[in-house]
Amino acid sequence: MFDKFEIFTTVFLGIFIEAAPFLLIGTLASGLVEVFVSREDMAKLVPRGLLPATIMGGVLGLAFPVCECGVVPLTRRLYRKGLPISAGIAFLMAAPIVNPVVIASTYAAYGFGKVLILRFVLGITIPVTIGLVMSLRATPPMILLPQSCYVPISGGAKAPAQAAKVVQPSIIGKLHQVATIATDEFFEMARYLIIGSMLAALMQTFISRNDILALGSGPVTSVIFMQVLAFVISVCSTVDAFISLGFSNEFTTGSILAFLVFGPMVDIKSTLMFLNVFRKNVVFYLVVLPFLLTMLVAIFINLNIGL
C-alpha cells in the first residue's frame, strides 16, 4: 500500500510541476491581453466571416505558444475582449497542438514525416470543425458563463469632459496590473489543475502497462484506448510526443495520432478548467465532439491508409 502511495505522490507531483509553469505562462498572457489589448484591437484582429475567423482561431497558437493548461485562462480573457465563439473554441482546442514548442518537440521525437504532418493537419482541422459546429445557432450567453462573456460598458455614466480627465497608468502601472490579474487567475485555475492532476495520478497508479499493451494491436480498440489513456494521464502537450514514442512499436499509427491529437485538446485537468469558462452542457460537448472526430479519423487511417 505504501508503494502505491509513493507512486501516486510521484506521478501527481510530476504532472503538477510539469503543468504549473505553462499555466503561469497562460495567466501572464491573459493579463497582457487584458491590459494591452482593447476591444477595438480585437475587432481589427478578427476577420469578417465565420469561417475565416474560426480558421484564425485555429492558427492563433502560433502566436501564443501555450499548452492545454495555459490556454484556458487566455481563451476566457480573449472572450471577454470580444473574440467570437467559434474562433475561441478553435483556439482552445488547437493552440496546445499548433504552436512552435509542440511542433518542435514532435519533430524531435518523430522527425519530419507522417506523424508530424498529420498531427499538425488534424490539430487544425478538428478544432476548426468543432468551433464551427458549436457556433451554430448559439450566442455567447448560451455557451459561456457570465464571467467569461464580453459585456459592453453602457454609456452615459460619465460626461465626455469627465472621461477625458481619466489618467492612463504608466507602463510600470500597467505591468503591475498584468501581475495582479495573472496572480488572481493562476490561483483561480490552479485548484482545477490540482484536482485534475490527482485524478490522473490515481488512474496511472492503478493501471498496469501490461493491460495497456494488451489493447495495442486492434485498429479500433487501440485508438479508443489511446484516447482514454491521453485523457487520463493528462500529460502536457509539450512532452507527450516523447511519451507516445514508447508505444509506437506496439500500437497502430492511427492510435498514436489519436493520443497526440485528442490528449492536448481534452484531458482531465483541462476539462475541469473548462467548467470555469463554459456552461456544463457545453463542456460535455467539448469533450465528446473531439473524442468522436479524432476516433473516426484515426480509425479511418488504420483501416484505409495503413500508415
Q: How far apart are the first and last CA of the chain?
A: 43
Per-residue pLDDT, 117: 92
What is the tens place of the pLDDT at every residue in 211-220?
Answer: 666 665 678 8
Q: How confident is the model at residue 13 (pLDDT cuts 50, 70, 90)?
A: confident
User: Once rounded to an integer, what is the mean pLDDT over residues 262-280?
Assistant: 87
Q: How confident is the model at residue 292 (pLDDT cuts 50, 70, 90)?
A: very high
Per-residue pLDDT, 300: 92
- Rounded to the nearest 10 degrees, how much is the dihedral formed by the CA atoms of 244, 262, 236, 65? 120
Residue 11 pLDDT > 50, yes or no? yes
What is the tens place of the pLDDT at every residue in 197-238?
Answer: 676 677 667 766 666 666 656 788 888 988 988 888 777 777
What is the tens place of the pLDDT at every residue in 26-57?
Answer: 677 667 766 776 666 655 677 878 889 899 88
Q: Which residues of 213-224 are buried (b: 16+ CB within 10 A; e: fewer)?
A: eebbeebeebbb
Q: Which residue do the cell numbers 508530424 mark?
A: 116
Per-residue pLDDT, 183: 81
What is the tens place of the pLDDT at every residue in 120-179?
Answer: 999 999 999 999 998 886 777 788 887 776 655 433 344 444 444 445 667 777 787 778
